[in-house]
Amino acid sequence: MNKRGDLLNNILGVVIAVIGILVIFGGAYMLYQKYVNQESEKAKNTIDVLEAKINAIEVGQSTEALVRGLPGWFVAGWGKAITTKPDKCFLSICLCICKGSAVQEADKVKVCQNNGFCRKIAGDDNFDADTIVFLRDNFYSVTIKKVEGEISLKENE
Amino acid sequence: MVSDKKGEITSTQIVMIVLAIAGFAIVLYLFFFLDFGEMGKRETCHLSVLTRGTVAGAVGGSQSLVPLECITDKICITDSLFGKCSNQFAGEKDITVVRLSGGVEEKRIKIEEISANAMYDCWNMMGQGKIDIFGNFYTENGLESNQATCVVCSRIALDESVIVDILNKVSVNEYMRTHNIPGKEITYLQAFTDKGINSYAQVSATPGGIENFQKKLEGEDKIAVEGAKSEAVVKDKVNRELAFVFMQVRTDEKKSTEGILKNIGLTGATAAGATFMMPVIGNMGSALYALAGGIVLGTAKEIYGAFNAYESQITAAGYCGAFQSAKEGHWEGCSVVNSVNYDFKAINSICKVIQGNP
């Protein structure tokens, strides 16, 4: 009996099964992102807004950003020349949003390395960034300014 | 008997495979690439509001598990070909740019139309104030209840090209009184209140008139609002960005909003049962965006709501009463939609918590 090519008879079933598995896993991942990972998504949104605002302005310009606070998180930044910063920043100007305490500089670096989202900012400028500790769940205002050789990010009181 | 089982694919099988892959590709395309635009965002937000409200009423339902899928609309109104409100929206995505055309009157009407629609859409999207959206979110997260919680529905920014002469003529309140909602037989004012209502109550825009109005609003349950007042931002320049904010406050369990409605009634608000529009401050033709300053009522334990007095020249619309999706125990509260300067002090003085995706 020649049983060559049995697989070909079942190929349709295999294709549909693979597609179905991909859809199920994809859907489960999206549900996880949406419902279980809400806080992380909000944190990423906040840091993305700040990064976009920094990149949108030219030297000599400033802009204000309103971001929603996330109690338990803080925003911190490091310039290119700073060596003590999260490894994920590597050798760049870096802005991070991190979950945890920001009392000491060493704490900030460790917390951001382990539990933060960082964005690299292009350029060689100094980066003078306030550490913004989110204590409440409404708006925080930040002024971002670019002058020759420096980017500053200051929390407005 | 020898049977030949070489693996030939029949034409039927080929067709089925192709159809299956094509169908999957179409579903993927619909999922990732079709942009239903503003309508899609509004409907998504509304659906999440309804879901939250349903969860609130369900035994063991947890509102904090249901995120509000409400993304703030960003609208830039410009009078130039290349304007894009870069002062307000630098670096931000998904901006809807509306270019004004025609004479001063046409431009004025366009600004009024956009503002009125923003307010009305916000109200509808959030369930017309009757759904308990934030109720047990507080207790689940160990927060103090009865805090004013807000969703920023939209931001409307005016590009520098829109001249002050046009802004000085804008009156959204008058537009809402005299124009029908697109596709409906009623005006915006009637939609917020009642079909039979055709005018606003007014409050004199004098310091005495406004103070008197504030006192009536606070009523007998006078709460300490000095803190909130100190947060007011006084500006003497044209404000070029407004936020349309939906705000909701729940009363303590089983506490009625009857007293609050009575106080609102005392101010002369245009009321129809549990829904109302606050009196218009000053002259109906007052400028929309060139406003002086704000005294904002804060919230407190005896909460009845947070309404701005003359923060913006657009009157606020609201509902006070039982929430439809409340769990047993007769939860009541107040919901308001109003416009606020897009300024963190102004918004934070009335919104202790912000939800959605501003």
Q: Which residue has the higher pLDDT, B302 or A32?
A: A32
- Say if residue A124 is in the same domain as residue A50: yes
Please give the pLDDT value at position B52: 82
Residue A98 domain-assigned? yes
How many domains are there within chain A? 2
Of the partner residues A4, A8, A141, the one whose CB lies closest to the CB of residue B344: A141
C-alpha distance from B4 to closest chain A C-alpha (Å): 6
Q: Lowest mean pLDDT: which of A66-80, B48-62, B230-244?
A: B230-244
**For range A85-90, the mean pLDDT:** 89
The letter for the amino acid at B258 is E
Name the residue in chain B with its Cα closest to that of A32.
B65
pLDDT band with cut points at 50, 70 and 90 for residue A115? very high
Chain B residues lying within 8 Å of A16, measured CB to CB: 20
Cα A154 from chain centroid (whole Å): 19
- Say if residue A113 is in the same domain as residue A44: yes
Chain B residues lying within 8 Å of A34, measured CB to CB: 67
Q: A5 pLDDT exceeds 70?
A: no
- Say if residue A30 is in the same domain as residue A101: no
Please give the pLDDT value at position A27: 79
| DSSP β-ladder status, A126-129 and B149-158 | unpaired
Q: A47 pLDDT exceeds 60?
A: yes
Please give the pLDDT value at position B146: 62
- Say if residue A142 is in the same domain as residue A68: yes
Integer-rounded Cα radius of gyration of chain B: 24
Residue A151 domain-assigned? yes
Cβ-count burial of A100 within 10 angstroms (0-12 exposed, 13-18 middle, 19+ buried)?
Answer: middle
Query: Cβ–Cβ of B13/A57 closer than 8 Å?
Result: no
Query: Cβ–Cβ of A5/B8 closer than 8 Å?
Result: yes
Taking one residue from A and the other from B, the number of pairs with CB-CB distance under 8 angstroms is 95
- Say if residue A27 is in the same domain as residue A44: no
pLDDT band with cut points at 50, 70 and 90 for residue A26? confident
Please give the pLDDT value at position A9: 63
List the Cα angle B91/A63/A97 in 5-degree steps. 70
- Say if residue A86 is in the same domain as residue A118: yes
- What are the tens digits of pLDDT across the range B89-120? 988 989 999 999 999 999 999 999 999 999 99
C-alpha distance from B247 to closest chain A C-alpha (Å): 13
**For range B115-129, the mean pLDDT:** 94
String of DSSP letters for B333-347: EEEEEEEEES-HHHH
Please give the pLDDT value at position B302: 30
Query: Cβ–Cβ of B65/A35 closer than 8 Å?
Result: yes
For helices A11-31 and B11-32, the axis angle rounded to 10 degrees is: 10
Q: Two tokens at B276?
A: 């109302």
> With pLDDT > 70 as the criterion, what percentage of chain B qualifies?
59
Chain B residues lying within 8 Å of A35, measured CB to CB: 65-67
pLDDT band with cut points at 50, 70 and 90 for residue B74? very high
Please give the pLDDT value at position B142: 55
- Say if residue A23 is in the same domain as residue A65: no
Please give the pLDDT value at position B221: 47
**For range B132-161, the mean pLDDT:** 76
Which residue segment(s) compose the domain that A14 sits in? 6-36
- Say if residue A125 is in the same domain as residue A59: yes
> With pLDDT > 70 as the criterion, what percentage of chain A qualifies?
92
ipTM for this prediction: 0.79
> With pLDDT > 90 as the criterion, what percentage of chain B qualifies?
23
Region label for B92, one of left (φ > 0), alpha (ψ between -120 and 50) or beta (otherwise): beta
Rounded mean pLDDT of chain B? Answer: 73
Residue A10 domain-assigned? yes
Cα A20 from chain centroid (whole Å): 31
Residues 134-173 of B with CB under 8 A from A: 150
Chain A residues lying within 8 Å of B13, measured CB to CB: 9, 11-12
| Nearest to B170, CA basis, from B220, B115, B121, B232 | B115
Q: Lowest mean pLDDT: which of A141-155, B183-197, B213-227?
A: B213-227
Q: A33 pLDDT exceeds 60?
A: yes
C-alpha distance from B60 to closest chain A C-alpha (Å): 17
pLDDT band with cut points at 50, 70 and 90 for residue A111? very high
pLDDT band with cut points at 50, 70 and 90 for residue B25? confident
C-alpha distance from B84 to closest chain A C-alpha (Å): 13
- Say if residue A11 is in the same domain as residue A54: no
- Say if residue A94 is in the same domain as residue A139: yes
Of the partner residues B3, B93, B351, the one whose CB lies closest to the CB of residue A138: B351
Q: Lowest mean pLDDT: which of A91-105, B3-17, B34-48, B217-231?
A: B217-231
Residue A1 domain-assigned? no
**Residue A26 in contact with partner chain B when CB distance is under 8 A:** no
Exposure string over B126-155, b if 16+ CB within 10 A, otherwise e: bbbbbbbbbbbbbeeeebebbbbbbbbbbb
d(CA B270, CA B266): 10
Taking every pair of C-alpha atoms in chain B, what is the biggest distance, in angstroms? 109
> With pLDDT > 90 as the criterion, what percentage of chain A qualifies?
55
String of DSSP letters for chain A: ---TTHHHHTHHHHHHHHHHHHHHHHHHHHHIIIII-HHHHHHHHHHHHHHHHHHHPPTT-EEEEEEE--TTEEEEEE-TT--SS-GGGTTSEEEEEEES--SSHHHHHHHHHHHEEEEEE-SS-EEEE--EE--SSSEEEEEEEEETTEEEEEEE-
Residue A27 domain-assigned? yes
- Say if residue A107 is in the same domain as residue A63: yes
Model's pTM, two decimal places? 0.80
- Say if residue A29 is in the same domain as residue A106: no
